[in-house]
């Protein structure tokens, strides 16, 4: 049914929302509704691991863009976010990386209960590691399938050998407590197909009669009765306004863009900013939309003299291999191996991530999709793991159909440009190793090759892109600027939580899907003990 009363309403069927839908509806006496603005996850490009490169700016993407970034040559950056069941876990590169122990111990300094040792059981509860599990790092009986790539590119083995050649540590498993070192990338795949949060959590639960999943249900605002959330108002596929009410909680799981936007549309945020957007303030929380953090990345792109890269992934032979055996280039996640690097040995944790992509990644076309490569090539991406630059999300207007203003504030802290410079210099060393000599050819435009620091800084400003990891816009904490408390309840309101990547106080040293699943697994336990009989 479209309307009605439930115990819980979950807004967003992404990495966090799918977890919550499964865990909360496991109690047959508990009625749960999930509202997803996108449609079903039926596109074949979602199932084919490499197909995600075609989903950017499609119907499965929110198609967000940032404001012009003065420190990035005044460019607007494209920010894809999943708009379908599974959310961004249905359109991402499938990497499963937890981050570093110090990430979570840092969270726990202001939010007790979130240290690495305390969140580790929730990672393990989610994980079903198939294949190698050196040291018992992963869980093996959870819903989320995690494995090695079935058919890694031959250049990926050469990259791993290059990492060893320059003295980096080979990790037994990437997700050890200290992830300093290099490894193939564990991926969320099952038998050569993507295994999204919808596959892992939502699909098995949809047979339950107490779980309702509404697609093309774009939530417009949270309904508040004084200081209590009582439900949500949404627009259905026909454009009609509908309502659902809740007896216990509304849970926002829309991600780091949509969750703060929805709070602000509901009158929760900085009153001054809300009035500018013609929204009547209902509850003052100045931190809503602030503290936006993202990993900025810049890639070295070179020609590959051997025809072994993903350039030929869509050939008839590769398509047949995928269809018949679930193998071949189409099973690639694109980001096939990573190295987490301390560019200063005195550092306690990595500051740079190097990402190996056996294809030339040249950016995005203005009207959708990636720029097609001209020839076989390789990319070594450099990501700044702990940026000092922060930005914000704000309303463009009080119209829920209008995208919010996204200003990541890239490179507003000078230290971030220096960090990327140092990281690219390290990446250049890797590409000069004997291990990679057979595969690394001439620079591929726009990469200029080795240049001085001034020209390299210009290249970064003109070419750096998001690594698709926005977090922090509804951060947890107990200070005046925090949006949710350490149990993810919105400060000053009852029956309203935020459970997604927006609650992270600080961005992690890794990709953000796995930590978001962990947050939702822990949130399910936080919610259930408080549930009245």
Q: The tokens of 328 are what?
A: 């071949």
Which residue, among 86, 122, 80, has the nearest Cα to 206 in the 3D structure?
A: 86
Helix, strand or coil for residue 293? strand
Q: 19: annotated binding-site residue?
A: no
Rounded CA separation 331/102 (Å): 33
Q: How many residues does the chain have?
A: 533
Which residue among the candidates 195, 295, 376, 511 is catalytic per the annotation? 511
Pairing of strands 211-214, 32-35: parallel
Residue 289, judged by CB atoms within 10 A of its CB (0-12, 13-18, 19+), counts as buried
- Tally the C-alpha atoms within 13 A of residue 471's C-alpha that lie toward its C-beta: 27
| 511 included as an active-site residue | yes
Rounded CA separation 53/46 (Å): 10
Contact 257, 62 (CB under 8 A): yes
DSSP string, 324-357: HHS-SGGG--S--EEEEE-SSTTSSS--EEEEEE
Q: The tokens of 324 are what?
A: 């018949």
Contact 105, 506 (CB under 8 A): no
Rounded CA separation 382/354 (Å): 5
Which residue among the candidates 283, 392, 469, 491 is catalytic per the annotation? 469
Contact 202, 40 (CB under 8 A): no
- Strands, DSSP E only, in 207-275? 211-214, 218-225, 228-235, 241-252, 268-269
Helix, strand or coil for residue 464? coil
363: left (phi over 0), alpha (psi -120 to 50) or beta: left
The H or E element spanning position 522 is helix 513-527
Rounded CA separation 287/527 (Å): 23
DSSP string, 395-429: -S-S-TTSPPEEE--TT-SHHHHHHHHHHHHHHHH
Rounded CA separation 475/502 (Å): 6
Residues 6 or more apart from 240 whose CB is under 8 A from it?
none
Q: What angle do CA 179, 181, 187 make, to 5 degrees?
A: 65
- List phi, psi (to 5°) of 189: -130, 155
The H or E element spanning position 33 is strand 32-35
> Annotated binding site for FAD, which residues?
219
**Could you give the residue numbers annotated as active site?**
469, 511
């Amino acid at each position: 049914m479209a309307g009605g009363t439930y115990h819980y309403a979950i807004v967003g069927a992404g990495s966090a929302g799918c977890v919550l839908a499964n865990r909360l509806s496991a109690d047959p006496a508990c009625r749960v509704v999930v509202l997803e603005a996108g449609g079903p996850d039926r596109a074949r490009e979602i199932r084919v691991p490499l197909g995600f490169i075609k989903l950017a700016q499609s119907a499965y993407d929110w198609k967000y863009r940032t404001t012009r970034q003065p420190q990035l040559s005044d460019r607007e950056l494209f920010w894809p976010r999943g708009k379908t069941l599974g959310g961004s876990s249905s359109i991402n590169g499938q990497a499963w990386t937890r981050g570093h122990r110090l990430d979570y111990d840092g969270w726990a300094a202001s939010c007790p209960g979130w240290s690495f040792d305390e969140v580790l059981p929730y990672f393990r509860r989610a994980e079903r590691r198939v294949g190698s599990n050196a040291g018992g790092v992963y869980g093996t009986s959870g819903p989320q399938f995690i494995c090695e790539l079935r058919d890694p590119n031959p250049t990926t083995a050469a990259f791993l050998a290059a990492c060893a050649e320059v003295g980096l540590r080979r990790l037994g498993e990437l997700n050890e407590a200290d992830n300093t070192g290099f490894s193939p990338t564990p991926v969320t795949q099952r038998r050569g197909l993507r295994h999204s949060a919808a596959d892992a959590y939502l699909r098995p639960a949809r047979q339950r009669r107490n779980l309702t999943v509404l697609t093309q249900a774009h939530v417009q605002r949270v309904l508040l009765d004084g200081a209590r959330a009582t439900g949500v108002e949404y627009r259905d596929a026909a454009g009609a306004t509908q309502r659902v009410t809740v007896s216990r909680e509304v849970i926002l799981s829309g991600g780091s863009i949509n969750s703060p936007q929805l709070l602000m549309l509901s009158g929760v945020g900085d009153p001054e900013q809300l009035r500018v957007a013609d929204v009547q303030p209902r509850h003052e929380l100045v931190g809503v939309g602030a503290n936006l953090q993202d990993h900025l990345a810049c890639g070295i792109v070179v020609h590959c003299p051997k025809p072994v890269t993903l350039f030929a992934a869509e050939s008839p032979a590769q398509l047949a291999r995928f269809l018949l055996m679930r193998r071949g280039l189409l099973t690639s996640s694109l980001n096939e191996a990573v190295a987490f690097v301390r560019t200063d040995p005195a550092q306690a944790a990595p500051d740079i991530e190097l990402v190996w992509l056996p294809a030339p990644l040249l950016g995005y076309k203005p009207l959708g999709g990636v720029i097609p490569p001209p020839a076989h090539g390789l990319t070594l991406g450099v990501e700044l793991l702990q940026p000092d630059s922060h930005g914000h999300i704000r309303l463009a207007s009080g119209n829920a159909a209008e995208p919010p203003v996204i200003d990541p504030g890239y490179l507003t802290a000078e230290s971030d440009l220096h960090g990327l410079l140092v990281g690219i210099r390290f990446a250049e060393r890797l590409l000069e190793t004997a291990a990679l000599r057979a595969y690394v050819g001439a620079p591929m435009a726009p990469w200029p090759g080795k240049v001085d620091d001034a020209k390299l800084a210009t290249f970064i400003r003109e070419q750096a892109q998001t690594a698709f990891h926005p977090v922090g816009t509804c951060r947890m904490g107990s200070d005046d600027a925090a949006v949710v408390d350490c149990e993810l309840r919105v400060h000053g309101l009852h029956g309203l939580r935020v459970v997604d990547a927006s609650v992270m106080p600080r961005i992690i040293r890794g990709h953000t899907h796995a930590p978001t699943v962990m947050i939702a697994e822990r949130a399910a336990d936080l919610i259930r003990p408080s549930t009245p009989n």
